[in-house]
Amino acid sequence: MSKNVLVVAELKNGLRKTTLPSITFAKQAAAKLGGQVHALVIGVDDVQAAAEELRKYGVAVVWTASSPGVKNYTAEAFATVTIKAADAAQAGIVCASATAQGRDYLPRVAAALNAGMASDISGYEEIGGKMAFKRPMFAGNLNQWVEITTERKVVSVRPTEFDAPAAGAPGGEIKALDAAVDPGSLKTKFVEFAEVKSERPELTDARVVVSGGRGTKGPEGYKETVEVLADALGAAVGATRAIVDAGWVPNDWQVGQTGKVVAPELYIALGLSGAIQHIAGMAGSKVIVAINKDPDAPIFKISDYGLVADLFKAVPELLAEVKKVG
Amino acid sequence: MKILVTAKRVPDPEIKLRVAGDGSGYVKDGVKWVVNPFDEIAVEEALRIKEKLGGEVVVVSIGPADAAQQVRQTLAMGADRGVLVKADGDVDSDAAGRAIAKIIGEEKPDLVIMGKQAVDYDSGQATAIVAQLLGWGQAAYASKVEVAADGKTARVTREIDGGLETVDLTLPGIITADLRLNEPRYASLPSIMKAKKKPLKETTFAELGVDAAPKVKSLKVAEPPARKAGALVADVPALVKKLHEEAKVI
């Protein structure tokens, strides 16, 4: 038993795209264990639509759990439901993407199942006949391979490290999980969510990210360079921890080990030196471009294309040149 | 209000760690050790709450005997007393969580604040493990904490994907500190002297009756493959040409 892999989906105006890489991991792991992939959708709104969507990805069973206690996310409620689903699915591995949500409640699931957990995994391989989960540590300065010694295992999957699975004809069945949560039993109560509204693509999903650091010289300079270029390219915007701490841009824009981890096709770094903390959040990008007036900036060591220039001169030129090729 | 805070001893995040010869971990000799920066923020928040509502701040750490130094640092910041669970070698999140939950059971704090993750292994698991074991609520990634005057709830603003979420946490409960919750204070010289006399109790996993056997074992540690540096381009037209024709990304 316990050969199946349970993936817990995340909802945000429907199925959140960050769920998909976890399905890829789950399919690979299930193939290794000789089991099936089960998915779990928790929530009140959008649950059926998300469950239908999940059927396209080679999932044997999609469990749905809707009750008043899961209308808003809480770690307690999501853990309670996931623990029940792990039994219903006979799951040997329980996983979800390592988003703010997945990282929050999965350790509770591990504690309840008496399972070991590996956080933020970027891959796995066999070492000495043991399944070793690869994960970044010390802000991505080192990689660690860990063995989970318990029969049941919990992992959070770094969504930028696995591709989304190809969608196929819908298969598998949708089953309602018997896991109602009484809202009165919860010790955390949702009050409100202040969404950072933006017309731009989401940082973690964007094909192109334009990011800025101290070299943008201030909120105005950041707007003139990073935001203008991002909007011309249809890109998301990012920032270093230094300028987030300085209050130039919203917290939500921070790229780095303590912020968002991104891996777009194109990452354009403007006026940022490339602190290890920042690099840990973007080194997985396919193509990295750096523009910085300091030729010794560490960012050039990891860039595919570097330009030593004053970005306040380079960005307007860049806009004009991009128009020519676009 | 009694507040329990954790303070893990970690390598200074500003230094570069080296992989140990046998590849099993990182070189610990000669490393500069500090209090986990997120735990420092947790200590600061606890001190601010104590300054408003009164009470006591107890700091718990798990680590080798030398980690007493890091506990002393938090006492110098203003915490009242420390508990060090002595353990040589790595303790996994599960064992750490079980030990902390055991101490919480004995200390019975009204509020627990921990860093959102320790910057050595970046696992970010212990808090939620503790919360689950105790059946408590949790409010992770806090950027703002307001404890109600009656000490029965805390309103916590959480930094999550896409914005800020506010929740009311029933106390006792657990909060994890994110980067922007506060700026930790520096300890003054007199408070460093005073901290030397503050109580610091040492205990062990065996005394706590907690099994320290890891559920997660490190098999290998290695530096990530270096990303190959590309070339510098002469000017903007050359850059755009490369991006368009060679990389084909615009």
**B97-108 pLDDT tens trace:** 999 999 999 999
Distances B31 to A148, A257, B7, B18, B34 between C-alpha atoms, Å:
28, 21, 18, 10, 10
- Order of all β-strands in the sheet with B216-222: A123-127, A130-137, A142-148, B216-222
Query: Does residue A218 form part of some domain?
Result: yes
Residues 140-199, chain B, touching A (beta carbon < 8 A): 140-141, 143, 155, 159-170, 173, 179-180
Nearest CA in chain B to A194: B164
Whether A14 and A51 have beta carbons less than 8 Å apart is answered as no
Query: What local confidence, expressed as pLDDT, does residue A1 receive?
Result: 53
Cβ–Cβ under 8 Å, residues B75 and B198: yes
C-alpha to C-alpha distance for B28 and B20, rounded to whole angstroms: 8
How many independent structural domains does chain A possess?
A: 2
User: How many interchain CB pairs under 8 A, A with B?
Assistant: 259
User: In whole angstroms, what is the distance from residue B59 CA to residue B9 CA?
Assistant: 12
Over its C-alpha atoms, chain B yields an Rg (Å, rounded) of 21
Has residue A194 been placed in a domain? no
Q: Which two tokens stand for residue B13?
A: 């995040």
What are the DSSP calls for B119-140, one per residue? TTT----HHHHHHHHHT--EEE
Instruction: Return the number of other C-beta atoms located less than 10 Å from residue B33's C-beta.
Output: 16
| Whether A218 and A96 share a structural domain | no
A54: domain CATH number is: 3.40.50.620
In this prediction, residues B141-153 reach a mean pLDDT of 97
Torsion of CA A166, A167, A168, A173, to 10 degrees: 120
Contact across the interface for B170 and A245, Cβ inside 8 Å: no
Which residue from B138, B118, B140 is spatially nearest to B130, judged by alpha carbons? Answer: B138
Predicted confidence at residue A246, as pLDDT, reads: 94
Tokens 């107890």 locate to B58
In chain A, what residues touch B33 (CB-CB under 8 Å)? none
Which of B160, B179, B230 lies at the smallest CB-CB distance from A303? B230
DSSP state of B181: G
Phi, psi of B216 (to 5 degrees): -125, 125
**CB-nearest partner of A318 from B121, B179, B240:** B240
Do A40 and A138 fall within a single domain? yes
Is residue A193 one of the residues assigned to a domain? no
- Say how far residue B45 (Cα) sits from the centre of its chain: 13
One domain for residues A244 and A160: no
CA distance A42 to chain B (A): 18
Judging contacts by C-beta atoms under 8 Å, the chain B residues touching residue A100 are 141, 159-161
Give the count of beta carbons closer than 10 Å to the beta carbon of residue B20. 13
Q: Is B31 within 8 Å of chain A by CB?
A: no
Query: Three-class SS string for B24-55?
Result: CCECCCCCCEEECHHHHHHHHHHHHHHHHHCC
User: Rounded to the nearest 5 degrees, what angle is found at the Cα of A281, between the Cα atoms of A310 and A255?
Assistant: 60
Q: Which CATH class is domain B2-246?
A: alpha beta
User: Which among A79, A109, A307 has the least Cβ separation from residue B233?
Assistant: A307
User: CA–CA separation, A113 vs A2, rounded Å?
Assistant: 12
Same domain, A265 and A162: no
Q: Which residue has the tokens 């912020």?
A: A259
What does the alpha-carbon distance between residue B138 and residue A104 come to, in Å, rounded to a whole number? 9
CB count in 10 Å sphere of residue B66: 11
Report chain B's terminal Cα–Cα distance, integer Å: 58
C-alpha R_g of chain A: 21
Classify each residue of A239-271 as buried b or exposed e, where b means 16 or more C-beta atoms within 10 Å of its C-beta.
Answer: bbbbbbeeebbebbbbbbbbbbbbbbebbbbbb
Arithmetic mean of pLDDT, B120-131: 97
pTM of the model: 0.93
Pull the structure tokens for residue B229.
């540096």
Q: In percent, how much of chain B has pLDDT > 90?
A: 90
The upper half-sphere exposure of residue B116, i.e. CA atoms within 13 Å in the direction of its Cβ, equals 20
| Contact call for residues B84 and B203 (beta carbons, < 8 A) | yes
Q: A57: distance to nearest CA of chain B, Å?
A: 25
- Of chain B residues 71-90, which have a CB less than 8 A from chain A? none
Q: Is A239 found in the same domain as A179?
A: no
Q: How far, in Å, CA of A288 to CA of B242, rounded? A: 12
Provide the residue-wise pLDDT of chain A in tens; the chain has 326 residues: 589 999 999 999 999 999 999 999 999 999 999 999 999 999 998 999 999 999 999 999 999 999 999 999 999 999 999 999 999 999 999 999 999 999 999 999 999 999 999 999 999 999 999 999 999 999 888 999 999 999 999 999 999 899 999 999 999 999 999 999 999 999 999 999 999 888 899 898 899 999 999 999 999 999 999 999 999 999 999 999 999 999 999 988 999 977 888 989 999 999 999 998 899 899 989 999 999 999 999 999 999 999 999 999 999 999 999 998 87
CA B104 to CA B208: how far, in whole Å? 11
Q: Are A149 and A228 in a shared domain? A: no
How distant is the Cα of A40 from the closest Cα of chain B, in angstroms? 20
Are residue A9 and residue A120 in the same domain, yes or no? yes
| ipTM for the whole complex | 0.95
Any A CB within 8 A of B92 CB: yes
Rounded Cα–Cα distance for residues A37 and A9 (Å): 12
> Could you tell me whether strands A208-212 and A236-239 are parallel, antiparallel, or unpaired per DSSP bridges?
parallel
* Lookup: tokens for A68: 């008043």
Whether the upstream peptide bond of residue B172 has omega within 30° of 0, thus cis, is yes
Cβ-based neighbour number of residue A228 at 10 Å? 16
The CATH number given to whatever domain includes residue A316 is 3.40.50.1220
* A15 and A141 co-located in one domain: yes
A179 and A312 inside one domain: no
Distance to chain A for B216, nearest Cα, Å: 5
Between CA A117 and CA A156 the distance in angstroms is 8
In a shared domain, residues A165 and A232: no
Amino acid at A29: A
Which residues constitute the domain of residue A93?
4-185
Angle at A314 between CA A311 and CA A319, to 5 degrees: 120
Structure tokens at B169: 């946490």
Q: Same domain for A175 and A285? A: no
Domain assignment present for residue A172? The answer is: yes
Which of A144, A181, A198 to mutate to probe the B interface, most B CBs <10 Å? A144
> CA-to-CA distance for A7 and A63, rounded, in angstroms?
10
- Which pair of tokens denotes residue B244? 């368009």
For residues A280 and A259, what is the distance between their CA atoms, to the nearest angstrom?
Answer: 10
Residue at a domain's end among A185, A219, A235? A185
Nearest Cα residue in chain B from A261: B161
> Which tokens belong to A48?
């059926």
C-alpha distance from residue B109 to each of A90, A137, B128 (Å): 37, 31, 17
- A208: nearest CA partner in chain B: B249
Nearest Cα to A180, choosing from A42, A46, A50, A69? A69
